[in-house]
A and B are shown apart, each in its own frame.
Chain A
Amino acid sequence: MAAVSLENITKTYDNGKVLAVDNVSFEVKEGELFGLIGPDGAGKTSIFRILTTVLLADKGQATVAGFEVVKDYRSIRSRVGYMPGKFSLYQDLTIKENLEFFATVFGTTIEENYELIKDIYDQIKPFNDRRAGKLSGGMKQKLALCCALIHKPEVLLLDEPTTGVDVVSRKEFWEMLKRLKKQGITILVSTPYMDEANLCERIALIQKGKIMSVDTPGNIINSFPTTLYAAKSADIYQLLNDLRANPEIESCYAFGEFLHVTLKDNQNGGADFLKNIAVSKGHSEILIKTITPGIEDSFIRLMNERPEEVRPGN
């Protein structure tokens, strides 16, 4: 049985004028760490709100932990842990009071499932009497996760838990998720950071309400249909302009210290071809190599293959 399933879910706002979720279907297996990857406005939060039974879809069906989101909403609410994107704990209550409150609401105690939260709770316990509103971003995030876990949920729904958090806290957070997964909890997590996709077992890439691909990060990368080159020179901005001006270049965009480039005609000798362009334009310190694409490359490619969904920005 799938821990989470969505079948043709559609959600519009503003009397049908805004299409937020467009016929979305995917399944999360029991015990899986599944990532929903996409930018702001892709529809991630609407999906989370439908799954947590606080928002009704226009069309389609969805189940969580085997229960239907409309009919069995009560059963779902006691079985999921939800961490919304916006910090939603009581700012005037202390760490301990928040935890006690959520434990009581779910008919349990902090002690009953202590093992599950111990790792995370220990890190914020020294500040037990501090009000939630006075905590740092990283500590709020940990407290919210503890509160979402206190009733030992079967399914954990985390909406952008790492947005706006620095690299160090983000790494720590993913370590926590891996440990929770080992305890058998199914986790559906969303993120706008493409580099976090590799930390999930399977991912769905979502853009403008539509799922572009659902697979393991490895398979998504392997299905990249053409050779990807990395290129750089002493003047990288000039190189970007020179390559884009060449009609044989299919795509060229900045990526870290390199440019990532694909050619219209995918053949051997592409690296030499690119090098020749750079040399003829007078570039120095030229470096061109073939590389393995990442999830962000796949995402960009999928977006460009659907021109109707990419706004004409320039």
Chain B
Amino acid sequence: MEEKAIICKELTKQFGDFYAVNKISFEVSKGEIFGFLGANGAGKTTAMRILCGLSYPSSGTASVAGFDVYRQQESIKKNIGYMSQKFSLYENLTVLENIEFFGGVYGVSRKEIKERSNDLLETLGLQKESRKMVGELPLGWKQKLAFSVAIFHRPKIVFLDEPTGGVDPVTRRQFWDMIYEAAASGITVFVTTHYMDEAEYCNRISVMVDGRVEALDTPANLKHQFSADTIDEVFYQLARGAKRSAD
């Protein structure tokens, strides 16, 4: 059987009588790049928090990297990486200190941290900047560093929450090169984005509307199914009918 990195069955999160996430079911394979799309307020963040072991579901089942979201939250956290546009690195620590800090938190040995951080700085071309405060780096560099730090402990899955907001189109593509590379090395990538062209870079995408997964397939199949030329159109057709809107 093909190895599954994430399995969700009828996963639900209820706040009072409000269904933030309403019986969503999907599976993500190992090494897959899975795009998790949805309008503002569709329930993406709530679902992602459950899958990251930060929040309990109200009902349904889910496993992440083989661990159960009800009983094994701590194991989930150890086996995933997480990066968001808003928070990832400490601005007033240096590049090297950030790598050492996150490596240490995730239990990578001192020896390993030293070796891997040298490799990492070289790959990123950041050797000269290793003792600079992260706050002084341009946004594009910060994002690449944040992603590298998120997969530094070689997690099974990395969750990326709108990782590329605001950067120029060249840097945005360099970032995706890194995502492809990570996926090719066997890391499963779970990513949300507002850039619809980036949705096309995913192996499969799901679109959430009002707490439900309304569509899930490869980008090509979705375009065919909705008779659309772009994912932008598919998304628009699905999300236009949304009743909810929130941040």
Task: Write the residues of chain A forming the contact surface with B, with a CB cutoff of 8 angstroms.
Answer: 38-42, 136-139, 163-169, 171, 192-195, 207, 237, 240, 253-257, 296, 299-300, 303-304, 310-314
Contacts and interface: CB of A to CB of B under 8 A. Distances in A.
Interface in B123-146: 123-125, 138-141, 144
Contacts of B124: 314
A87 to B, nearest CB: 10
Q: Determine which residue in B40, B41, B138, B201 has the highest number of CB atoms from chain A within 10 A of its CB, and name it.
A: B40
Contact of A168 (B123, B239, B246): B239
Nearest to B239: A168
B239 A167 contact: yes
B54 interface: no
A304 B165 CA distance: 21
B42 to A, nearest CB: 8
A1 B168 CA distance: 33
Contact of B140 (A168, A192, A195, A313): A313
B169 A300 contact: yes
21 contacts: A39-B169, A40-B139, A137-B246, A138-B245, A139-B245, A163-B165, A166-B38, A166-B40, A167-B39, A167-B239, A168-B240, A169-B245, A195-B232, A237-B184, A257-B200, A257-B220, A303-B170, A311-B138, A313-B125, A313-B171, A314-B174
Contacts of A296: 169
Nearest to A296: B169
Given A165-B194, A168-B236, A169-B39, 15 more contacts: A40-B167, A42-B168, A136-B40, A138-B245, A166-B38, A207-B168, A253-B170, A256-B230, A299-B169, A300-B170, A310-B170, A313-B140, A314-B123, A314-B125, A314-B174
Interface of B: 38-41, 123-125, 138-141, 144, 162, 165-171, 173-174, 176-177, 180, 184, 194-197, 200-201, 219-220, 230-232, 235-236, 239-240, 242, 245-247
B70 to A, nearest CB: 31
Nearest to A39: B168
Closest 5 A-B residue pairs measured CB to CB? A40-B166, A39-B168, A256-B200, A166-B39, A136-B245
Contacts of B242: 168
Contacts of B40: 136-138, 165-166, 169
A167 B196 contact: yes
Contact of A313 (B174, B201, B236, B245): B174
B194 A137 contact: no
Contact of B194 (A167, A240, A254, A300): A167
B222 to A, nearest CB: 11
Nearest to A40: B166
Given A137-B247, A257-B220, A313-B174, A164 B169 contact: no
Given A137-B246, A256-B200, A314-B174, A167 B169 contact: no
Contacts of A303: 168-170
Given A136-B247, A165-B40, A313-B140, A255 B197 contact: yes
B242 to A, nearest CB: 7
A310 B141 CA distance: 12
Q: Determine which residue in A42, A165, A169, A311 has the highest number of CB atoms from chain B within 10 A of its CB, and name it.
A: A311
A167 B236 contact: yes
A17 B67 CA distance: 50
B166 A312 contact: no
Contacts of B235: 167-168
Contacts of A240: 177, 180
Contacts of B141: 311, 313
Contacts of A136: 40-41, 245-247
A171 B236 contact: yes
Contacts of A300: 169-170
A254 B173 contact: yes
A168 B139 CA distance: 27
A302 to B, nearest CB: 10
Given A41-B139, A169-B245, A311-B141, A194 B169 contact: yes
Contacts of A138: 40, 245
A311 B196 CA distance: 25
Given A136-B247, A314-B125, A39 B167 contact: yes
A19 B239 CA distance: 41
A254 B166 contact: no
A168 B42 CA distance: 12
A168 B39 contact: yes
